[in-house]
Amino acid sequence: MTTPQHVIATYIIETSMPLLHAAEVLAGEQSTGTFVRVARESDDVRARFAAQVESVDELEPSAFAPLPGTIGDPAERRRARLRLRFPLDNFGPSLPNLLAAVAGNLFELKELAAVRLVDLELPSAFSDRYAGPAYGVAGTRRLMGRPDGAMIGTIIKPSIGLSPDELAEVVQELCDAGIDFIKDDELQGNSPASPLVERVRAVMPVLERHADRTGRKPMYAFNITDDIDRLEANHDLVVRAGGTCVMACINLIGLAGLEYLRRRSALPIHGHRAMFGAIGRSEQIGISFRAWQKLARLSGADHLHTNGISNKFYETDAAVLDSIAAVREPLLGLTPTVPVLSSGQWGGLAHATHAAVGTTDLLVLAGGGIHGHPDGARAGVESMRDAWASAARGDSVQDALAASQPLRRATELFGPARD
């Protein structure tokens, strides 16, 4: 049971030990320290501090080879969903210290042939300490002047290598195309070849001129990822130039780095998930997106990459849709974070996505879907906006295609639209 004084962590484990024994090894290792009692580990200590096995539900076995170093008879291997209850008092509402308990040494236990943290239930002490997003959906919409409908965005390509003048040209084209949002690539940090200061200098006048003319300033997420001590200066550079968003690669500055940035940021933070695959892709080890995104939201991510359906990466549509749903679920009263759909996105995916997620409170990023549209970027943006508006009205894909020339033209390149 969830209480204000406990954290519940859910794992999928495989083990050749009896399931309850393996669960107790895990709980012991991650709380009072050892499965075997040591001196001064009194009943009182165990009662107050021991993690408790809340439930063990056996699952169908997997076909995976055990993780390296696993002990026990492979023929005895079983799989289970395991819920452990940790006293909040063991770590307090500190995300780094929470992680030591729920995601620390446990990945190295040789009793476990697989171990994956798949969910976390956190008490409100965490939202008392961590503010979460400052802008979220509503703040992002306000800053980009897009009060409703899917927010349509793109990534600067090529990822790296553009001169400031070329970058300004690309941004101008995208402004003219009616884009809501543009972001640096995660590979474009603050490199000698394209320093952040020069990118800001090149981009902002283009955005400002566009805003003067149209009343709308597209949001540009400048990638300010760098050492912790440089984050604030990088952020301030963007603020001073009139920018409206900073981007950070969460796993590269750390969740703790994101939280540090959040405390200083005057702008929405676009949270990129680069390196997430290292902990998230295997089904045998690591941390699921569902668990990780809670930590990222508490740490202040206004936007959070979820991938999109029909993407170029490894994730199935079901996994992506679960990620989007997870980011949209309420979390301790925090301001809602915007899911960011990207990779292989184009207008023809709007209906299928909308049917599954039921909202347009999304930032949908298309690279080829915009830059690569047969009639250019303007038609690319229109094709996406038309498709999302149609989906939001409840029209069919066929209606959308009949009504939108840019969407029809997009299908010539990207194939049939999905419904």
Asked whether 112 and 14 are in contact (CB, 8 A), the reply is yes
Candidates 15-23, 160-168, 174-182, 389-397; binding stretch for its own copies (CB under 8 A): 160-168
Tell the smallest beta-carbon distance from residue 358 to its own copies (Å): 25
Q: How far apart are CA 54 and CA 22, in angstroms?
A: 13
CB contact set of 330 (below 8 Å; sequence gap of 6+): 336
CA nearest to 221, candidates 360, 382, 340, 376: 340
Helix (H, G, I), strand (E, B) or coil at 52: strand
Tell the smallest beta-carbon distance from residue 74 to its own copies (Å): 12
255 sits near its own copies (criterion: CB under 8 A): yes
Residue from 32, 154, 244, 306 that binds its own copies (CB under 8 A)? 32
Helices (H), 30-82: 43-49
233 sits near its own copies (criterion: CB under 8 A): no
Tell the smallest beta-carbon distance from residue 407 to its own copies (Å): 22
249 sits near its own copies (criterion: CB under 8 A): yes
Instruction: Determine the residue type at 368.
Output: G
402 sits near its own copies (criterion: CB under 8 A): no
Asked whether 200 and 237 are in contact (CB, 8 A), the reply is yes
Q: How far apart are CA 87 and CA 42, in angstroms?
A: 17
Site for its own copies (CB under 8 A): how many residues?
94
DSSP code per residue over 248-279:
EEHHHHHHHHHHHHHHH-SS-EEEE-TTHHHH
Q: Scanning residues 284 to 313, which ones bind its own copies (CB under 8 A)?
A: 284-287, 312-313
Q: How far apart are CA 14 and CA 37, in angstroms?
A: 25
Of the two residues 108 and 329, which places its CB atom closer to its own copies in the complex?
Answer: 108
The tokens describing 57, both together, are: 């539900």
Residue from 233, 266, 275, 402 that binds its own copies (CB under 8 A)? 275
Candidates 6-14, 65-73, 135-143, 325-333; binding stretch for its own copies (CB under 8 A): 65-73
Tell the smallest beta-carbon distance from residue 3 to its own copies (Å): 15
315 sits near its own copies (criterion: CB under 8 A): yes
Tell the smallest beta-carbon distance from residue 295 to its own copies (Å): 11
Residue from 59, 278, 318, 402 that binds its own copies (CB under 8 A)? 278
Tell the smallest beta-carbon distance from residue 7 to its own copies (Å): 12
Tell the smallest beta-carbon distance from residue 132 to its own copies (Å): 14
186 sits near its own copies (criterion: CB under 8 A): yes
Q: Scanning residues 123 to 152, which ones bind its own copies (CB under 8 A)?
A: none
Burial of 394 (0-12, 13-18, 19+ CB in 10 A): exposed
Q: What is the largest CA-CA distance in the chain?
A: 76
Residue from 18, 74, 161, 394 that binds its own copies (CB under 8 A)? 161
Asked whether 154 and 363 are in contact (CB, 8 A), the reply is no
Asked whether 143 and 306 are in contact (CB, 8 A), the reply is no
Tell the smallest beta-carbon distance from residue 123 to its own copies (Å): 13
Of the two residues 68 and 416, which places its CB atom closer to its own copies in the complex?
Answer: 68
263 sits near its own copies (criterion: CB under 8 A): yes
Tell the smallest beta-carbon distance from residue 248 to its own copies (Å): 9
Tell the smallest beta-carbon distance from residue 398 to its own copies (Å): 30
Cα 121 to Cα 57, 85, 247, 308, distances in angstroms: 18, 9, 27, 26
Residue from 132, 136, 189, 243 that binds its own copies (CB under 8 A)? 189
Sheet holding 78-87, edge to edge: 52-59, 78-87, 6-15, 112-121, 285-287
Q: Scanning residues 72 to 111, which ones bind its own copies (CB under 8 A)?
A: 88-92, 94-97, 99-101, 103-110
374 sits near its own copies (criterion: CB under 8 A): no
Asked whether 31 and 50 are in contact (CB, 8 A), the reply is yes
Residue from 63, 147, 212, 330 that binds its own copies (CB under 8 A)? 63
314 sits near its own copies (criterion: CB under 8 A): yes
Q: How far apart are CA 316 and CA 408, in angstroms?
A: 26
Q: How far apart are CA 410 and CA 379, in angstroms?
A: 9
191 sits near its own copies (criterion: CB under 8 A): yes
